[in-house]
Amino acid sequence: EIQLQESGPGLVKPSQSLSLTCSVTGYTITSGYDWSWIRKFPGNKMEWMGYISYSGSTNYNPSLKSRISITRDTSKNQFFLQLNSVTTEDTATYYCARESGPFDYWGQGVMVTVSS
Amino acid sequence: DIQMTQSPPSLSASLGDKVTITCQASQNINKYIAWYQQKPGKAPRQLIRYTSTLVSGTPSRFSGSGSGRDYSFSISNVESEDIASYYCLQYDNLPYTFGAGTKLELK
């Protein structure tokens, strides 16, 4: 069974970087598909942030392009989100998901609050 | 970016009712729309992809239709386990974009 699990700090200070990990079990991320980060804001709006493909290429939402980086560690079957220069508007629940036309498997989500 | 206008924001239904949610895209999305169910504290669950294809495990009381810019999602014979929020997602063009969601409540 394919499972995704997000992990990372639940509290980040403004202007710092947000770093999250998605650990995947049951499927090798280099075997296929794109691996995305998606977030849901407190008002329930959802936003696709970007993905890293099975080959390692990335694609980001232009709204975040200057602040976001998605990388991976294939030896650990993990991929990562880094979001720089966060503000309170980045407070959200962050999900990782597999994109297979479209998102079929999701993690449970991790709530991240940006606050001093 | 393609804007997805989802309505209504909330819906009140009795058990056994049929309910319909609509999403209108700001441009033709070639039927590349999916529908998700989300319950509090849980990850979204894919119900339908490519407008009307039910994902494995989706009960047949769920259905989807549409083309071009206009799409709809229905639940016939609402059951208590259907109480949740529902979102549409267009995956025709990057960046993928979601509708604002519809909260289904029991009357």
Give how far the C-alpha of residue B91 lies from the chain's centroid of Cα atoms, to the nearest Å: 14
Q: Give residues 33 to 62 of A whose Cβ lies within 8 Å of B.
A: 44-48, 59, 61-62
Q: What is the tens place of the pLDDT at every residue in A74-109?
A: 999 999 999 999 999 999 999 999 999 899 999 999
Q: Are A81 and A67 in contact (CB under 8 A)?
A: no
CB contact under 8 A, A45 and B98: yes
Q: Count of A–B CB contacts within 8 Å? A: 48
What does the angle CA B15 – CA B21 – CA B22 come to, to the nearest 5 degrees? 170
Q: What is the tens place of the pLDDT at every residue in A21-76?
A: 999 999 999 999 999 999 999 989 999 999 999 999 999 999 997 899 999 999 99
Return the percentage of chain B with pLDDT > 70, whole number: 100
Q: What is the tens place of the pLDDT at every residue in B15-37?
A: 999 999 999 999 999 999 999 99
CB contact under 8 A, B98 and A48: yes
Question: Scanning every residue of chain A, which has its alpha carbon at the shortest distance from the alpha carbon of B96?
Answer: A48
